[in-house]
Amino acid sequence: MKGKEAYEKRLKLIVLNLPEKPGCYQYLDEQGTVIYVGKAKNLKRRVSSYFVKESQTDKTRMLVSKISDLKYIVVETEWDAFLLENNLIKRYKPRYNILLKDDKTYPSICITKEEFPRVFKTRKIIRNGSEYWGPYSHVGTLNGLIEIIQNAYKVRTCRLPLTENSIKNGKFKECLEYHIKKCPAPCIGNINSTDYNSQISEIREILKGKSGELTRAMLKRMKELASQMKFEEAQSIKDKYDTIMEFREKSRVVDTGLDNVDVYNIDQDDDVVFVNYMHVADGCINQAFTFEYKRKMDESLGEMLIMAIIEMRNRYHSTAKEIIVPFKPDTDYAGAEWTVPQKGEKKKLLDLSALNVKQYRADRLKRSEKLNPEQKHLRLMKELGNLLGMDRTPIRIECFDNSHISGTDAVAACVVYENGKPDRKNYRLYNIKSGAGGDDYGSMHEVLSRRWTRTLAEGNPLPDLVIVDGGKGQMSVAKEVADNLNIDINIAGLVKNSRHRTEGLLSGFPQAEVGVKADSELFRLLEQMQEEVHRVAISFHKKKRSQRQTHSELTEINGIGEKTATTLIRKFKSVKRIAGADLNELISVIGESKAKTVFNWFRDESSSSESN
């Protein structure tokens, strides 16, 4: 305890003497390991806020309990603090900092550091002086670039250690690639390193997204060669020009006036933040990357957007002077200008970036739910609870419906859903006993009273949510029963349209429709619930009606009562089978005397029908 008190006393002294300037701070544990790195516009104010117990969240309280020492670095501007924070997080990988989740190794395009460089796609980065362009999260974009390079340029694919001296000494022989006109054969001296590397320079321009400048230079050179009657050389350039222009037209998304622009969009889901980055050059997207951050503390969306911008600009070596964002960050960036577009081509790019974030988030959710199906049901239950304004997730849901024909054979059904799935062993069926068969409200009142009274008497927990099939009136009945029993229970109603299809969800008192999209997973689940409780109620009603009709036919026989009729139905399942049974079968079920009565009744009936 003394050690902890000493730490706290020392920390207070450091905090009291912190400068009121921009900078970065580092929290260390007892072993001297950096567990958190933060940045601040005002170091003293920001660090002090962690130690104010009244404003501490659970996450902050946990972090503070681990701090044994702190260090800080003063910088000139807040943006410098962001940059320094990014570098320190990469260096120390602190336990409590947000983490960039990038578990995929995306492919890049490599230009090797050789006298006659090779160009190929790879997932392995080797720090040997070679150039790497990417990574490309969209493989289609990368394959498109590789295709244009292969079609417009002749670059070697072999791994021969080519040098000017080895080529002069005749160490190598041409291969098939040369004979099918896909390689200029530098291995036998058909092209010198200067001409070969001029191709590589043009390839670099394409990878930079500078194909517009390149095609303009090509067009000018074509005209010069044509004027000099060098038509063969002009045609060679034209072939490359056409290939590049075709690729540009395919990949252009906005006006070519938009050049060297970065685009970001961001969204969040609980403690995970999703960010999309796109770089636009000559109206074409030449880089696109979507990733996620795992939030560890209570970082704001603005702070996480800044971290993402720094991360991506460092990774892709972006020098864009304009950054399109969904909202303006709180800090200025000396190297570029923030743009929050409301319309036009820039808004089109921002919307496209938002679409990528949405798609990534949906794909991630699908992958996660395939691995853990329970997660999907829990998500839908949380969504339902939020829509209804509930203070807890409705894990257990009970749905009720009535069924009758003109008040006869009135029944009700209760179906139970546990975490979004039918719990059939807990379904319950009810015969309406109060004589309220033709009164749907009276039937619902009886069933809910019986259900909840028994639940309370047995000491069982009430459901998290009750859904009645019948709209506002049925909801009011449910609330009346709950008030009479003095219980607090969440009640919702499902309504149908004129075609008896699920139309909406009602909540609250007075009742109001809750907006659930008709094509959403939640709507389909609610529709399934309504159809299931209706199916169970109808099936029970049909069974009861069939039994009543069967019983009526059997009880018309003198000497046969309800009990005997029930015994026969349970054994033979139908009147037709009873009529066709032989005397011995009937005797084994209801005894000799009654068996003869039944046997003779159906034989007499049969004879009467034949005579008629």
The CATH number of residue 589's host domain is 1.10.150.20
| Strand, helix or coil for residue 319 | coil
pTM, to two decimals: 0.54
One domain, residues 123 and 205: yes
DSSP 489-535: -EEEEEEE-TTS-EEEEEETTTTEEE---TTSHHHHHHHHHHHHHHH
Q: Does residue 38 have a pLDDT over 70?
A: yes
pLDDT tens per residue across span 471-497: 788 888 888 888 888 888 888 888 776
Q: What is the pLDDT of residue 101?
A: 62
Distances (CA, A) of 590 to 138, 352, 459, 560, 580: 77, 78, 42, 10, 16
List the single range of 165-174, 348-357, 397-406 with lowest mean pLDDT: 397-406
d(CA 355, CA 165): 54
Q: Which of 73, 97, 121 is the last residue of a domain?
A: 97
What one-character DSSP code corresponds to residue 413? E
One domain, residues 396 and 528: yes
One domain, residues 400 and 356: no
Query: How far from each other are the two terminal CA atoms of the chain, in whole angstroms?
Result: 106
Is 74 part of a structural domain of the chain? Answer: yes
Distances (CA, A) of 91 to 68, 107, 124: 20, 24, 21
pLDDT band at 76 (very low <50, low <70, confident <90, very high): confident
Q: Does residue 604 have a pLDDT over 70?
A: no
Full domain range(s) for residue 156? 108-209
Q: Which residues does residue 99 pair with via DSSP β-bridges, in sequence order?
A: 294
One domain, residues 121 and 161: yes
**For range 423-431, the mean pLDDT:** 86
One domain, residues 481 and 579: no
pLDDT band at 528 (very low <50, low <70, confident <90, very high): confident
Asked if omega into 184 is within 30° of 0 (cis), the reply is: no
| Count of the separate structural domains present in the chain | 5
Q: Does residue 325 have a pLDDT over 90?
A: yes
Contact 598, 555 (CB under 8 A): no
**For range 249-262, the mean pLDDT:** 67
Q: Which of residues 262 and 286 earns the better pLDDT score?
A: 262
**For range 546-557, the mean pLDDT:** 62
Q: What is the pLDDT of residue 116?
A: 92
Q: Does residue 168 have a pLDDT over 90?
A: no
User: What percent of the chain is predicted at pLDDT more than 90?
Assistant: 5
d(CA 578, CA 571): 9
